Amino acid sequence: MAAVLESLLREEVSVAAAVRWIARSAQSSEVTAPTRPQAWPESAFRDDPGEAAALSSLRPLRKEFVPFLLNFLREQSSRVLPQGPPTPAKAPGSSAALPGRPGGPPRGGRGARSQLFPPTEPSSTAAAEAPSARRGGRRRGPGPGRERGGRGSGGLEEGVSGESSPWAGGRRPRGSGSPGSPSLARSDPPNLSNLEEFPPVGSVPPGPAGTKPSRRINPTPVSEERSLSKPKTCFTSPPINCVPSSQSSVPDTSPWGHGLPPGCRSLQEEREMLRKERSKQLQQSPTPACPTSESGSPLPSRTGNLTAEPADPARVSSRQRLELIALIYSSCIAENLVPNLFLELFFVLQLLTARRMVATKESDLEPIPGALDSLESPLFQSVHDCVFFAVQVLEHQFQVLSYLDKGTLKLLAENERLLCFSPALQGRLRAAYEGSVAKVSLAMPPSAQAVSFQPETDNRANFSSDRAFHTFKKQRDVFFEVLREWEDRHEEPGWDFEKGLGSRIRAMMGQLSAACSHSHFVRLFQKQLLQMCQSPSGTGGTVLGEAPDVLSMLGADKLGRLRRLQERLVAPQSSGGPCPPPTFPGCQGFFRDFILSASSFQFNQHLMDSLSLKIRELNSLALPQPEPSDEDGESDVDWQGERRQFAMVLLSLRLLAKFLGFVAFLPYRGPEPPPTRELQDSILALRSQVPPALDVRALLQQGLRARRAVLTVPWLVEFLSLADHIVPLLDYYRSIFTLLLHLHRSLVLSKESEGEMCFLNKLLLLAVLGWLFQIPTVPEDLFFLEEGQLDTFEVDTVTSEQGLDGMPVVDQHLLYTCCPYIGELRKLLASWVSGSSGRSGGFVRKITPTTTTGLGAQPPRTTQGLQAQLAQAFFHNQPPSLRRTVEFVAERIGSNCVKHIKATLVADLVRQAESLLQEQLVTQGQEGGDPAQLLEILCSQLCPHGAQALTRGREFCQKKSPGAVRALLPEETPAAVLSSAENIAVGLATEKACAWLSANITALIRREVKAAVSRTLRAQGPEPAARGERRGCSRACEHHAPLPSHLISEIKDVLALAVGPRDPEEGVSPEHLEQLLGQLGQTLRCRQFLCPPAEQHLAKCSVELASLLVADQIPVLGPPVQHRLERGQARRLLHMLLSLWKDDFQVPVPLQLLLSPRNLGLLADTRPREWDLLLFLLRELVEKGLMGRTEIEACLGSLHDAQWPKDFSEELATLFNPLLAEPHMPEPQLRACELVQTNRGTVLAQS
């Protein structure tokens, strides 16, 4: 393996070729080409025969390359990261894998590696830092709740036995091994010897020994060696580990310090006592301590080691080599050739934040001549190298980083080393941070919820007998009692579940005789499990915007701060590194311990049945699939709902599957894998006959086929994580692991094509699978399988239509909820910022959570919080319908309240805006200024009034809610219950309404005012005058007038008749005409049915009719035959028209049409020409003020353009000149008649 790496370093083989070579070992098909990183030129993919030859000789070693690389990097980095939290790497020493038995635990795993590191190895420390040793050690922690021993102790550790690593198990002081917290980091005591964090009282700078006895023990370094060695070394973290002869570090010594009166003893005495005490402690500790420091490396100084050494890009040694290895390492990550993506990222971030290089011997730092490019010289010779390498890798992994939560991105973007080494990457990260909306709180969901009773299970009908029913009720009570007691006491030190509750639980289980009682109880158990461990707030309410009840009671401005504080207080410092073993945090622990204490076969069987059923049900739940193409705001809101539902289902499934796995594999669980091969074979033979509790393989296959892996795989992983050591060896489960491995490798993140899984979906699967591959019970070599076994996968995925996989169902919040260990990245970075990573793996919390236990379980004791709790309690004791009613009423009243405010307050404001606007327009004239500016002025005046909305809204809810509740609840509801329900309804409704109003009232007012302004301005436009003056019909009007349409139609008929052509017998009677005009008058006076266009046409038609009358063109149907209208009748009709025009028409009447060429032409055509009616009409028009003389003059003026018979023009002139000249003529028609009479002869003569 080393040969491969070396040939890479010597550039005999290109990186691209190497990655392809490795990947080919993983996948027999040529899939690397489309997925290669873009940075690689095309040519890199062409096989160089030389390269091929170089690599083909190494063929059998192919699949061992990645584990080798990972181990190599870990080993190389060990000098830099001694104090860091464990970076487990589950990469087996591959040469030890037994070919015939792929699942067999490798033994002597480090053999091969140690060959690679001959005695010339610069530091045996480095070699000893076998990651597997770290891993094994980490897991060795015993605990009552974890009967799973680290398998590593039985397997890998043998290969490195004798070597001890700084953080190998046992060298750290253990906590009592509390069930939920197996992590070492958490149980570490504060490092009191850290002078920077705990400076001596009086803040005497660390100086010569024995300055002054102090309450804090100041272990002054007196070592002679220290002055010689560089003060770089920093084996600081586990103080107890590094107990040198002369330089004692003092853990947990504060009580001692207290106990000693200052000055009464010498420092030497103190030290002596401490040493004794410490050795006592060491004897008690479960694993032997390792008092000898590694290979005699100089002991680190305790002081001054916390400031990080500045990293300088200019001081990077062997840049090219680092670049090459970073590239190949990144490529392996990108191709999913590493088991756990996030573990690698964690490792890289550790390198990035490495504080200081552990100096070994001076000579080690000297480059070995001629060996610079080989593996002989250490890869990371300085912090600069580490940071350079880390930044290189991060650059390649930017895409993944950009999907991390906002907090992590911020920390990364603000990392000064990153900025220094790659400003470009920093810029991209900053951009990603600014664009990110993925705020993820690392706070754990509140653990225990109030105990709820399940009235549904009270139903007697479900029980075989009264007795069974009563027994069940009693059991239920016991169950809740036990639960309550656990809630109250489980955090008390010294309280033990089994001791406290075991006998009661077993007694209760003993009473469950009938099978049906068991199923009832299991249902209760399961329901309670889901309710408590998978509360809505657990699925991310706080982040998605639905504030949890308590927090929402506080003001919005304080909310954010409170939330941050809460997060800091309750966020676990570390959930056990980037790869914690499966645990049962919070109230899950109760259910696990209950199952263990009950130790009832029937119960377990029923529970498995019930869990399996529920899992099947939820797994096949048809999750709604909205159009993914829709991207407007509304569907986005829908998506939130879909996501939330998906998250709910997924988290429920994971919880159920975890417990199913726990119960199903419970009988087989043992601390260690079987010691001998023979024993293992016989167990395998036995176990392979047992059918699985739930056919998870079928479900997985279904899920893959239906493209629902994003739902199925996470719970399956939970299930498998609780399997025992034998399970992965069974054929059935082995095939599942094979499928999962295939899936893992196929989830290449850079692949983004149609039908691919969404990025975050992939990331979730990679995270959970990566975690699964690191579980102790999963064999290390499983991941690096033989290539032959990996070829049956592709078939399944490329089927079927759009499934859940292709939809963005996973968001960062769900990712972090399912995989809290990803948050370790952020914590690691945060610890770098906080500047002190001296102890406990670099995670330091500034806030000492002295009250965490209280805070976690109980909400803040504010009045509001208490009120909310009271309300919850109240509902628990009432029928569910009461709660539904109250919530319904609150919801409706809240909504009505908003509507009411809109209709009253906002409408009033809009009216005010309109009148203000009118004023503005009057003062400023028609222009009124810029509408946008106007709007601004109005809004600034009116929006402050929006504040009234809250008071009014409160009043409204106060007034309306009680009545509604009262009406909806049964008459018989007791008064106290009723009034409580009313009060709660008022409170909820007010909360809802005020929340909406306070958020939206300004925008609402603004919108409405804007609409009003544009309406007013538009109305201002064309016809402001005509609007107001229209009259309606009189009050007495009964709207019996003829319809306008009818009248238009009638008049049109008359006009048509007059214009012709007509039959000889056709004509109108004068009576009909009179009646028509009478009807026109009625219609014009009624106006009920009149619309302006109709009136305009009526006006025009009436003028046309007058023209025809004047020209005597209307054929009158008389008794004998068709004849002309009599003069008198004509005048009467004209009079009627005149009065209509004057009094009844409300639209302008186009009287000028009377003098249009066409209508006058009618007159011209008649023989003899009769002018008197026209003159009469014009005179009347002038007299009635309907037309001015000038107007008539203008009309006549335009007539000159028309082509008339010459005499006609003359006649016109003679006729009209006097009319226009003389203002008043007493007897006009006479003279007109005379004129007409005289002229008639000439006209006739001319025609």
Partner 1 sequence: MILTKAQYDEIAQCLVSVPPTRQSLRKLKQRFPSQSQATLLSIFSQEYQKHIKRTHAKHHTSEAIESYYQRYLNGVGRNGAAPVLLDLANEVDYAPSLMARIILERFLQEHEETPPSKSVINSMLRDPSQIPDGVLANQVYQCIVNDCCYGPLVDCIKHAIGHEHEVLLRDLLLEKSLSFLDEDQLRAKGYDKTPDFILQVPVAVEGHIIHWIESKASFGDECSHHAYLHDQFWSYWNSSLGRHSCRILTSSPSATRDRSTNN
Per CB under 8 A, residues contacting partner 1 are 1039, 1043-1046, 1048-1049, 1052-1053, 1055-1057, 1059-1061, 1063, 1088-1089, 1091, 1093-1094, 1097, 1100-1101, 1150, 1153, 1156-1159, 1161, 1165, 1202-1203
Nearest CB to partner 1, comparing residues 466 and 632: 632
Q: Which is nearer to partner 1, 349 or 1192 (CB)?
A: 1192
227 contact partners, CB below 8 Å, separation of at least 6 = none
Smaller CB distance to partner 1: residue 700 or 1105?
1105
Joined together, the tokens standing for residue 663 give 């119960």
Report, in Å, the least distance between residue 630 CB and partner 1: 17
- Nearest-angstrom CA–CA distance, 419 and 152: 39
Nearest distance, CB of residue 1017 and partner 1, angstroms: 17
Kindly state the smallest distance separating residue 1208's Cβ from partner 1, in Å.
12
Least Å distance, CB 1047 to partner 1, is: 9
Considering beta carbons, is residue 343 or 1080 the nearer one to partner 1?
Answer: 1080
Token duo for residue 232: 């770089």
Sign of CA dihedral 1084, 1087, 1090, 1095: positive
Q: How many angstroms separate the CA atoms of 180 and 591, rounded?
A: 13
CA contacts within 13 A on the Cβ side of 411? 21
Q: Give the residue with the Cβ less far from partner 1, 1029 or 1063.
A: 1063
Smallest gap from Cβ 1242 to partner 1, in A, equals: 22
Signed CA dihedral, 48, 54, 59, 65: sign only: negative
Element (H, E) at 50: helix 49-56
Q: How would you classify residue 948: left for phi > 0, otherwise alpha for psi between -120 and 50, otherwise beta?
A: alpha
Angle, helices 975-1020/880-901, rounded to nearest 10 degrees: 30
Task: Report the alpha-carbon distance of residue 927 to residue 921 in Å, rounded.
Answer: 7
List the structure tokens of 1189: 């003389």
The structure tokens listed for 763 are 């990331």
Q: Shortest approach of partner 1 to residue 1089 CB, angstroms?
A: 4
Contact 834, 844 (CB under 8 A): yes
Q: How far is CA 988 from the centre of its chain?
A: 26
Q: Which is nearer to partner 1, 667 or 1060 (CB)?
A: 1060
- H helices then E strands: how many in the chain? 55, 2
| Peptide linkage before 1061 cis (omega within 30 of 0) | yes
Instruction: Tell the smallest beta-carbon distance from residue 1043 to partner 1 (Å).
Output: 5
Q: Which is nearer to partner 1, 514 or 1153 (CB)?
A: 1153
**Would you say 412 or 913 has its CB closer to partner 1?**
913
* CB nearer partner 1, residue 34 or residue 1197: 1197
Shortest CB 632 distance to partner 1, Å = 16
Nearer to partner 1, 564 or 1158 (CB): 1158
Q: Copy the structure tokens of residue 380.
A: 């990371």
| 567-570-571-577 Cα dihedral, nearest 10 degrees | 170
1117 - beta bridge partners?
1122
DSSP letter for 210, please.
T
To the nearest 10°, report the CA torsion of 1218, 1224, 1225, 1226.
Answer: 180
3-state helix, strand, coil split of the chain in percent (to 5) is: 60, 0, 40
Least distance in Å: CB of 1157 to partner 1?
6
Which C-beta is closer to partner 1: that of 427 or that of 1205?
A: 1205
Distance in Å, CB of 1104 to partner 1, minimum? 8
CA 743/CA 721 separation, integer angstroms: 17
Q: Which is nearer to partner 1, 8 or 1077 (CB)?
A: 1077
What is the total residue count of the chain? 1247
Nearest CB to partner 1, comparing residues 1041 and 1133: 1041
CB of 752 to partner 1, least distance (A): 36
Query: Based on CB atoms, which residue is closest to partner 1, 833 or 1059?
Result: 1059
Identity of the amino acid at 767: A
Shortest reach from residue 1056's CB to partner 1, in Å: 4
Query: Smallest distance from the beta carbon of 1052 to partner 1, in angstroms?
Result: 5
Q: In the bound complex, what is the minimum distance in angstroms from residue 1160's beta carbon to partner 1?
A: 10
Shortest distance, position 935 Cβ to partner 1, whole Å: 19
Contact 299, 235 (CB under 8 A): yes
**Cα–Cα distance for residue pair 912/920, rounded to 1 Å:** 12
440 neighbors 543 (Cβ within 8 angstroms): yes
Nearer residue to partner 1 within complex by CB, 873 or 1091: 1091
CB of 1205 to partner 1, least distance (A): 12
Question: Which amino acid, one-letter code, is at 1228?
Answer: P
Burial (CB count <10 Å: 0-12, 13-18, 19+), residue 493:
exposed
Which CB atom, from 27 or from 1107, has the smaller least distance to partner 1? 1107
Enclosing H/E stretch for 924: helix 907-924
Of 1204, 1228, 1203, 1230, whose CA–CA distance to 1216 is shortest?
A: 1228
Nearest residue to 576 via CA among 343, 906, 785, 761 = 343
Contact 784, 67 (CB under 8 A): yes
Cβ count near 559 (within 10 Å): 15
Q: Which helix (H) or strand (E) holds 731?
A: helix 731-746
Phi, psi angle pair for 1068, to nearest 5°: -120, 150
CB closer to partner 1, 37 vs 1157: 1157
Residue 1192 CB, shortest distance to partner 1, in Å, is: 16
Q: Which residues, in sequence order, are bridge partners of residue 146?
A: 143
| Residue 904: CB minimum distance to partner 1, A | 17
CB closer to partner 1, 474 vs 1015: 1015
Q: How far apart are the first and last CA of the chain?
A: 126
